C-alpha cells in the first residue's frame, strides 16, 4: 500500500477512502481528519489493531479511547435512529443521553456511557464505560459509513504532545511509520478536542473535558443541566470514568510554555532570569502592542492571536506547533479571559504548560 495518501490538496476520492477502509479491515492504522483534530484510527472490534495505536502513540494502555461512529447518509433516512446505532456499544441509553445525541451529533461532543459487554476492554482502559462520538467532518463520515463499524481514533500524535490539525502534522509525528495511511482533509475547523460529557450514571450529565460545546449551549438547546465534577457528591466524583485528555500534562510543546496575566508580560519574563535570548509572546489582537524596552537583553517577537474564543481555539495547536519548531527559548501565551466559552482552550493551555519543556516526556505519567 502507498505510505501516504496526502499532498497539498485535500482528497475525497472514493478510491482513496475505499483503500483506507480496506486497511482498517485488515487491522491497519489510518489517520483521518475530524472537525476537531486529526485522529489515528483503528477497528474498534480488533484488539490487535487497538494495541498498535497504543504502541504508535506511546500511550498508557489504561488510558481509554473514543469510538467514532457514522450517521447514515442523510439521503437514506428522514431521522437518524441513533439508538439503533448505539445499541451494539451501549447499555442503558437514557432519554437525556439520546436528546444530547439527537441535538449535537454529528459534532464535537463525546458522550460516556455504560458499555455493552461486547465492547473490548482494550479500548476502555478496563473500565465499564465507553466514550463515543460521531465526527462531523465529511471525510470522517464517509470513511466510517463505508467501514460500517466503530473506529477508535485518539489524536494522531505522540502521547502528551501537541495535537495535529493538518495532515502534515500527522506525517511529522509519525515519520518513518511506513504503513500508516494518512487521509488529507485540510486544516481542522474546531482545532481542539471534543467536549466530553459523562452520562453513564443515567441521572446527571457531568462535564469531564471542556470543548467548544459549552454547558450553557447544552442547557439552552436541550434543557439539560451539565454539572462540573466539583458540583457532585464526593462518592459520585470518585466514580467518574477516566477519559482522554484528562492527565495533568498533555498537548505539550517541547519549548517551555507559560501563561501571563493581562498586562503582566514583564513580570512573566522576570520570572525566568536564566532565559536571556529568544522569547515568543502571543498577544491578543485586541491588545495594544507590548513595550519591552526594559528587557533589551531579550529578543522578543510578538505573535498576534485572536480575541475570539472560537478563532483562538481553531489556531491554538497550529500556533504551538509552529512556535515549537522555530527554536524559541520560551513561549508566553496570555491567560484566556473568564467565561466558559474559553474553558476549552484554558484547559488545553494549562495542561500544555505543565507538560512543556525539553523533558516533557517525563511528565507523561502525571
The secondary structure of 48-97, three-state, reads HHHHHHHHHHCCCCCCCCEEECCCCCCCCCCCCCHHHHHCCCEECCCHHH
Chain length of the chain: 366
> Per-residue pLDDT for 6 more than 60?
no
Spatial separation of the C-alpha atoms in residues 287 and 266, rounded to whole Å: 15
Spatial separation of the C-alpha atoms in residues 48 and 236, rounded to whole Å: 34
Residue 245 contacts by C-beta under 8 Å, 6 or more apart in sequence?
193, 196, 209, 251, 351
User: Which one is predicted more confidently, 261 or 151?
Assistant: 151
Which triple of cell numbers denotes residue 133? 462520538
Mean pLDDT, residues 2-25: 71
Mean pLDDT, residues 16-41: 97
User: Which one is predicted more confidently, 213 or 229?
Assistant: 213
Region(s) of the chain under CATH 3.90.870.10: 14-238
Residue 326 contacts by C-beta under 8 Å, 6 or more apart in sequence?
280
Least confident range from 156-165, 281-290, 303-312: namely 281-290
Q: Are strands 30-33 and 181-182 parallel, antiparallel or unpaired?
A: parallel
Give the position of cell 495505536. Answer: 53
> What b-and-e string marks burial along 203-234, b requiring 16 or more CB atoms within 10 Å of the CB?
ebbbbbbbbbbbbebbeeebebebbeeeebee
Per-residue H/E/C for the chain:
CCCCECCCCCCCCHHHHHHHHHHHHCCCCEEEECCCCEEEEEECCCHHHHHHHHHHHCCCCCCCCEEECCCCCCCCCCCCCHHHHHCCCEECCCHHHHHHHHHHCCCCEEEEEEECCCCCHHHHCCCCEEEEECCCCHHHHHHHHHHCCCEECCECCCCCECCCCCHHHHHHHCCCCCCCEEECCCCCCCCCCCEEEECCCCCCEEEEECCCCCHHHHHHHHCCCEECHHHCCHHHHHCCCCCCCCCCCCCECCCCEEEECCCCHHHHHHCCCCCCCEEEEEEECCCCCCCCCCCCCCEEEEEEECCCHHHHHHHHHHHHHHHHCCCCCEEEEECCCCCHHHHHHHHHHHHHHHHCCCCHHHHCCC
Region(s) of the chain under CATH 3.40.50: 257-363
Which triple of cell numbers denotes residue 117? 459487554
Give the position of cell 459534532. Answer: 107
- pTM for the structure as a whole: 0.91
> Domain 14-238 carries which CATH code?
3.90.870.10
Percent of the chain with pLDDT over 70: 89
pLDDT of 2: 35
Q: Which pLDDT band, with edges at 50, 70 and 90, does 79 fall under? A: confident
Topology of the domain comprising 257-363: Rossmann fold (3.40.50)
Q: Which pLDDT band, with edges at 50, 70 and 90, does 209 fall under? A: very high
Amino acid at each position: 500500500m502507498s505510505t501516504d495518501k496526502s499532498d497539498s490538496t485535500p482528497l475525497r476520492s472514493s478510491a482513496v477512502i475505499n483503500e483506507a477502509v480496506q486497511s482498517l479491515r485488515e487491522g491497519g492504522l489510518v489517520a483521518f481528519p475530524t472537525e476537531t483534530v486529526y485522529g489515528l484510527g483503528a477497528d474498534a472490534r480488533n484488539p490487535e489493531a487497538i494495541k498498535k495505536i497504543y504502541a504508535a502513540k506511546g500511550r498508557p494502555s489504561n488510558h481509554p479511547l473514543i469510538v467514532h461512529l457514522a450517521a447514515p447518509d442523510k439521503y437514506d433516512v428522514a431521522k437518524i435512529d441513533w439508538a439503533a446505532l448505539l445499541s451494539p456499544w451501549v447499555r442503558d441509553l437514557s432519554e437525556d443521553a439520546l436528546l444530547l445525541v439527537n441535538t449535537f451529533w454529528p459534532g464535537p461532543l463525546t458522550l460516556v456511557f455504560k458499555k455493552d459487554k461486547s465492547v473490548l476492554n482494550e479500548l476502555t482502559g478496563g473500565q465499564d464505560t465507553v466514550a463515543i462520538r460521531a465526527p462531523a467532518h465529511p471525510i470522517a463520515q464517509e470513511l466510517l459509513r463505508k467501514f460500517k463499524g466503530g473506529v477508535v481514533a485518539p489524536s494522531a500524535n505522540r502521547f502528551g504532545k501537541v495535537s495535529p490539525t493538518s495532515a502534515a502534522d500527522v506525517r511529522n509525528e509519525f515519520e518513518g511509520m511506513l504503513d500508516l495511511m494518512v487521509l488529507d482533509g485540510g486544516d481542522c475547523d474546531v482545532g481542539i478536542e471534543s467536549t466530553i460529557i459523562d452520562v453513564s450514571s443515567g441521572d446527571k450529565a457531568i462535564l469531564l473535558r471542556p470543548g467548544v460545546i459549552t454547558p450553557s449551549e447544552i442547557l439552552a438547546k436541550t434543557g439539560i443541566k451539565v454539572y462540573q465534577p466539583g458540583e457532585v457528591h464526593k462518592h459520585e466524583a470518585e466514580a467518574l470514568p477516566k477519559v482522554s485528555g484528562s492527565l495533568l500534562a498533555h498537548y505539550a510543546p517541547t519549548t517551555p510554555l507559560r501563561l501571563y496575566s493581562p498586562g503582566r508580560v514583564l513580570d512573566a519574563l522576570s520570572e525566568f532570569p536564566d532565559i536571556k535570548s529568544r522569547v515568543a509572546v502571543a498577544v491578543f489582537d485586541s491588545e495594544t502592542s507590548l513595550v519591552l524596552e526594559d528587557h533589551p537583553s531579550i529578543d522578543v517577537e510578538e505573535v498576534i492571536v485572536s480575541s475570539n474564543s472560537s478563532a483562538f481555539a481553531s489556531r491554538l495547536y497550529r500556533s504551538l506547533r509552529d512556535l515549537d519548531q522555530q527554536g524559541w527559548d520560551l513561549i508566553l501565551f496570555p491567560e484566556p479571559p473568564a467565561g466558559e466559552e474559553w474553558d476549552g482552550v484554558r484547559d488545553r493551555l494549562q495542561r500544555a504548560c505543565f507538560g512543556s519543556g525539553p523533558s516533557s516526556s517525563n511528565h507523561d505519567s502525571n
